Amino acid sequence: MKYVKQFIYMLIIISCSSLNAAIIEEIIVTATKREESLLEVPVAVSVISGVTLDNGSINNLQELTLRMPSVMMSEAQAATNIFIRGVGSGQNYGFEQSVGMFIDGAYFSRSRAYRNPFFDVERVEVLKGPQTVLFGKNVVSGAFNVSSRKPTEEWENSVTAYYDPEYDGVEFSGVVSGPVSDDVGIRVAARYSDVDGYLENSLPGAPDPYAREQYQIRGTVQWDITPEFTATLKTEISEYDIKGGYATQPGFLSPAHLALTQANDPNAEASFDYNVSVPSPVGSDPLFDGLFNNTNTQNMTLTLDWDVGNHQITSVSSYVAFDFEALTNNDHTNLQVVAGPQRQDSQTMSQEIRLASTTDQFLEYIAGFYYSDDKYKTRLQASVDLSQSVLAGAFGTDRLGRNQSTTQSGETWAIFGQATFNFTDDIRLILGVRYTEDRKTTNKRLWYSDISTLDNAVPDPVVQGAYNFVFGTEHNLIGVKRKTDDVPFAITGEWDATDDLMVYGYYKEGFKAGGFDEDFTSGVLADFEFDDEGVKAYAFGAKWSLLGGAAYINAEYFHSEYTNLQVSTFSVASFLVGNAAAATSQGLDVDARWQVSDQLGVGAAFVVLDAEFDSYTNGPCVLDSAGNAIAQFCDLSGQPLQYAPDFEANIYADYTWSVMNGWEMGIGGDLTYSDKFFLAGDLDPDYVQKSYAKVNATLSLTSPDGKYRFSVIGKNLNDEQTSHQKNDIPLANFYGGKGGSAFADPPRVVAIQAEMNF
């Protein structure tokens, strides 16, 4: 807490020395599918501008969410966890996300696509709580609404270079934007980055893990076909490569397990720090040669806007695809026990059409139709070597491959409408409803082979005889289907109590479609499917403009009740997927900003959260010291949810002043604080992130004409060591007892950045 106090004292001193009248620039959001002021939208929305992202070199979702209370994201080796107010979707390729991602109106259904870096973005809006009507598709705990920058009316070009000397990180980006005729504008943006890993590998000859190389190219064409009809086509490709594996290491091991790792490397340890001992890319076992984790994404969005009389017709056609391939070290040590070669491919095509009336009339409305066609396939293998374990020689063969293959096709269609009744200039009632139908068809197979590549793994009767029922039961399920439909709705009331104060309240019901567990191993058909997730939510909030427009406070009390909450929990050798009976997320969400003067702005956001299971009698169980579950089921009723700290806050400030010859100096900083929270789905006390505070800051110098900007950027300046991903080590019970691993968040980074606009 000492960093919080020091930061607040600094803000008070600077504020008192800078007082004069100022106005906050109006923040426009599209949270209601219309452009509206942030202070007029009846929902809790956190907004971060593209300028803020650029100036702080915030270029991925994980960095962004660290600055947003109650919003958490973590990258695991296989999937991406993202939670808002303690509710999200865990690790399973079969899950669609409780937190929806919408980029330029296109829905990104799979969490792997969330790793696409942020670049050349106009703004990011994070809508908190269920968004059941206008966004609709499975969005039961919140949504990211990302708007990329569009072609400009005048030619604008820029290049940016970034260098991190500590980890030899480099980044180059460039943008060209402007009109090619009176009616057509283009924008081309490209970015490339390469950075070494921040963990040090003590195994001789082995590289440091988590070296990242990525690129992104986006092209946008906007054509004003007529004054009333505009077409915008955006095409984008990106590649995100992790070399040497993820930033993960054993946090603790049993003495026998640790002794085995130290026989390979005397410097191997089991503690949560930035030192690891993991396999070399050129080792004796080709299964672990060249650990990698690569994602390629492609997306295309065509948006048509047509003004017809007193209405606007909007069409959003999108194609979102990615392919992912990885070779992961799943035992998180240097023993080369469990490798995880895997592959995933996903393609989603969607079409949305909306009809919106004009505003400033008694009845305003939006109506629309949505359709999506979603296909994905996965190929997974757990390649296991038990030769150093207590089971060595017990089954006649020590090396096995547990292979899984899944294909799924799904269709979703929906019709929706929202009507706003302006009873007076100050009182409004908003009614919304959406009918959704969701269909899925899946094929799923599990078989055993000797260790081999993904494409050459053929059934092996010896391995099957030894390990069938031990690590999963062989099965081949063909054409398994499910269908669901639901009619979520929302009722919202607004009252302009004064010219500067709007209060609102809402009640919403929503659902997230169920599906199939693509990592299902039991062979029991009843275990294969998980049910729909439902939510009933209400909230009361206020949007208040203060000091003649120099400040605002947005506050919301929220209460959301979830039934059949979809959960994924790791236990011993695989993730267990199912539904928790009931959970509640409630609390207070506050966001405030004060433009003290033209030079100084300060702000703060905090969330007080109470998120827990109301009923979860068949919950997962923690492992004992031997690495075995203490019981088949454990009662987690009354226990907190994952990623749900009781209190989170972010405090920030930015100050600018003139220096020599019209150059402008700027300093900005923020402090993020979080209470402790659970990281594992079984709420194991060994996997808790303790409370922490992190400080970020940027010092910049900008030329009088704005063409040149030079910055020093500091992230996690107090070098706080944290993790947003901890769990049990697979099969550690066969090597002496329970073991745990942690994915380390980045340490302190200080970098320089130069930008030129011309």
Tell me if 232 sits within 8 A of 306, measured CB to CB: no
Name the residue among 374, 375, 357 with its Cα closest to residue 366. 357
Q: What is the mean pLDDT of residues 13-34?
A: 70
> Residue 193 pLDDT more than 70?
yes
Regarding predicted confidence, which is higher, 617 or 230? Answer: 230
- Per the structure, how many domains does the chain have? 1
Residue 573: predicted pLDDT? 55
Task: Yes or no: say if 294 and 242 are a contact pair by the CB < 8 Å rule.
Answer: yes
Least confident among 199-203, 436-440, 569-573: 569-573
- In 10 A of CB 22, how many CB atoms? 20
Q: Residue 9: its pLDDT value, please? A: 46
User: pLDDT category, 281, cuts 50, 70, 90?
Assistant: low
The dihedrals phi and psi of 610, each to the nearest 5 degrees, come to: -130, 100
Residue 526, exposed/middle/buried by CB under 10 A (0-12, 13-18, 19+)?
Answer: exposed
Q: What digits encode the pLDDT tens for the residues 81-109?
A: 789 999 987 777 777 778 888 999 988 87
Answer for the pair 382, 402: CB distance below 8 angstroms, yes or no. Answer: yes
Q: What is the mean pLDDT of residues 312-325?
A: 94
- C-beta neighbour count of 215 within 10 angstroms: 17
Work out the number of other CB atoms within 10 angstroms of the CB of residue 311: 12
502 with 466: CB under 8 angstroms? no
Say what percent of the chain tops pLDDT 90.
Answer: 57
Least confident of 12-21, 81-90, 128-137, 449-458: 12-21
Give the pLDDT band (50/70/90) at residue 282.
low
Residue for token pair 């400040």 = 551
Under 8 Å between Cβ of 276 and 200 = yes
Short-list 18, 24, 141, 8, CA closest to 86: 141
- CATH code for the domain of 730: 2.40.170.20
Rounded CA-CA distance 697/718 in Å is 11
Of 37 and 233, which is predicted with more confidence? 233
CB atoms closer than 10 angstroms to residue 387: 13
pLDDT above 90 for 334: no
Residue (of 405, 272, 386, 395) closest to 335 by Cα position: 386
Is residue 607 within 8 Å of residue 111, measured between CB atoms? Answer: no
Lowest mean pLDDT of 72-81, 428-437, 741-750, name the range: 72-81
Q: How many CA atoms lie within 13 A of 311 on its CB side?
A: 12
Q: Is the pLDDT of residue 469 over 60?
A: yes
pLDDT score of 386: 85
Q: What is the pLDDT of residues 595-651, one digit of tens each?
A: 999 999 999 999 999 999 999 888 888 999 988 888 888 899 999 999 999 999 999
Indicate the pLDDT class of residue 15, thresholds 50, 70 and 90: very low
* Predicted pLDDT at 67: 84
Question: Looking at residues 517-522, what average pLDDT do you find?
Answer: 84
63 DSSP assignment = H
Q: Above 90 in pLDDT, residue 185? A: yes
Sign of CA dihedral 658, 660, 662, 665: negative
pLDDT at res. 11: 44
Rounded to 5 degrees, φ, ψ at 471 are -110, 15
What would the pLDDT profile of 492-503 be if each residue is shown by its tens digit? 999 999 999 999
Q: Which residues contact 499 (CB under 8 A, 6 or more apart)?
A: none
Q: Are 635 and 641 in contact (CB under 8 A)?
A: no
- How far is 519 from 472, CA to CA, in rounded Å? 10
Share of the chain above pLDDT 70, in %: 94
Which residues of 166-210 form beta strands (DSSP E)?
A: 169-179, 184-195, 200-201
The CA distance from 287 to 307, in Å, is: 59
Reported as type and span, the H/E element at residue 599 is none
Q: What is the mean pLDDT of residues 31-60?
A: 89
Question: What pLDDT digit, counting tens, does each position of 704-737 carry?
Answer: 999 999 999 999 999 999 998 888 888 888 888 9
Q: What is the pLDDT of residue 65?
A: 84
Lowest mean pLDDT of 15-19, 163-167, 408-412, name the range: 15-19
Give the number of other Cβ atoms within 10 Å of residue 394's Cβ.
Answer: 11
Domain of residue 186 covers 2-757
